[in-house]
A = this chain, B = another copy of it.
Amino acid sequence: MEWAMATLDLAQDVVSLTAALVDIESVSTGEQEIADSVEAALAALSHLDVVRFGHTIVARTTLGRDERVVIAGHLDTVPVNANLPSRLDGDLLYGLGSCDMKGGVAVALRLAATLPAPSRDITFVFYEAEEIEARHNGLGRLARERPELLVADFAILMEPSDAVVEAGCQGTLRVDVTVRGERAHSARAWMGSNAIHAVAPVLQRLVEYVPRTPRIDGLTYHEGLNAVGISGGVAGNVIPDECVVTVNYRFAPSKTEDEAADVVRRVLAGFEVTVSDSAPGALPGLAHPAAAAFVAMVGRDPQPKFGWTDVARFSALGVPAVNYGPGDPSVAHQREEYCDIARILECEQTMRAWLGA
C-alpha cells in the first residue's frame, strides 16, 4: 500500500503553492506528511543535494560560488483552530500557517525549484517543531548535530516580517525574584512578616526602570524589564512567608546573557534573584556584503527585531541572519491569520532578483 502523501507541484505559482502547503495540516510534532512532501519534491531536483534529519530537510546547491546563504523556514504550525483548509478572499489568503510561515516556505520552495544556478550557493532548510519547546526545534538540532550544514555568509529566516528586513533579534532572560517573610495568623500579623508587602520595592524598581534604546548597525533596539508573573499566599488567614515575581528582561543583541543577568541583578540589588531561562540575542550583521546587497534589493529600511527568533541560532554559529518573510507578524497565531498575496509575490520577486545569476 502506498503512503498517502500530498504531491507538491513546485511549478505552480507561489500563491497556489502557499495554499497547497496550508492544506497539509502540520501542527508541531505532526510534520510527517508535509516533510515527506517537501523532501519528495526537492529530491526530484537534480541541482540540489537533499538530506533529512527527522522531519527537517536540508537541500543545497554546490556550485562553488564565493558566497553561501541559508534560506530557512519551519514547516510546523500552532494547533488547528477551525482555520483549515485555506481560503482565498480577495487579496488575502486565509488559513492556519498562511502567515506563520507557509507563505515564506512557498517562496523558498519556488526558489529551490526554479534557480538551478543562483549567483550565491544556497542552503535551504525546512525544519520541524519551531512552535513548541525549544528542545524539539529542528534548526536547533541541526545546529547541535550537524553545524557544518549551516555554515554560510548570511542567513534569511523567512518568518513573517511584512516583507521588511527585521535584523538580528533581542535576547531574553527570565529570573525569579523570591522575597521571604514569616508566617503568622493574619489576626496577629505583627508576629509575622508579610512577604507580599515586601515585594513593593521590587515592583517599584521595575516601574522606575528606564529601558535603554541602543542603536546597533543603524537600528534602534528597545529593551524592556517586566514582571510577567507574580504569586504569593498561603491561605486567606495567613501572613504569607513567600512571594515570587517572575521578571523577563529583553535585551539588545550587543549584550551577552551574562551581561544581561548582571543588569537585572543590579536593578534588583538586595533581592534574591535566580535566572530560570535565557537565550542570547543576534546582532543584525547588516555590514556583511551579502546582507547589504539583500537590504538594498528589498528597498525598504531594515527594522530591528525585538522578539527572540531562530536567527539567534545562526548568530551563535557566527552567521549573520535576518528575518524576512511575507506574513504580517501581528496576525500570526490568530485564528483568522492570513497572508497578503501581494507580499508573497513581492518576496519571491525580491529574492529571485537577489539570487538571480
Contacts and interface: CB of A to CB of B under 8 A. Distances in A.
Interface in A194-213: 194, 196-197, 199-200, 203-204, 206-207, 211
Nearest to A185: B307
A231 B230 contact: yes
A229 to B, nearest CB: 3
Contacts of A204: 200, 204
A240 interface: yes
Interface string A199-238: 1100110110001000000000010101111111111111
Contacts of A233: 227-231, 246
Contacts of A246: 233, 236
A248 interface: yes
Contact of A228 (B188, B227, B237): B237
Copies of this chain present: 2
A236 B189 contact: no
A243 interface: yes
Contacts of A308: 187
Contact of A196 (B170, B188, B230): B230
A308 B185 CA distance: 11
B197 A226 contact: yes
A306 B191 CA distance: 12
Contact of A238 (B174, B228, B243): B228
A250 interface: yes
Interface in A299-314: 306-308
A100 to B, nearest CB: 14
Interface in A35-65: none
A3 interface: no
A196 B238 contact: no
A223 to B, nearest CB: 9
Contacts of A206: 194, 197, 200
Interface string A278-296: 0000000000000000000
Q: Pick the 8 closest A-B CB pairs, nearest first.
A: A229-B233, A200-B203, A187-B307, A196-B227, A189-B224, A187-B306, A186-B248, A230-B232
Given A172-B187, A189-B226, A227-B232, 19 more contacts: A170-B187, A185-B307, A187-B250, A187-B308, A188-B306, A189-B224, A194-B206, A196-B227, A196-B228, A197-B203, A197-B206, A200-B200, A200-B207, A228-B234, A228-B238, A229-B233, A231-B231, A231-B233, A233-B246
21 contacts: A170-B187, A185-B306, A186-B224, A186-B226, A188-B222, A189-B226, A190-B224, A196-B229, A197-B207, A197-B226, A200-B204, A200-B206, A200-B207, A228-B234, A228-B235, A229-B232, A230-B233, A230-B243, A231-B233, A236-B248, A237-B248
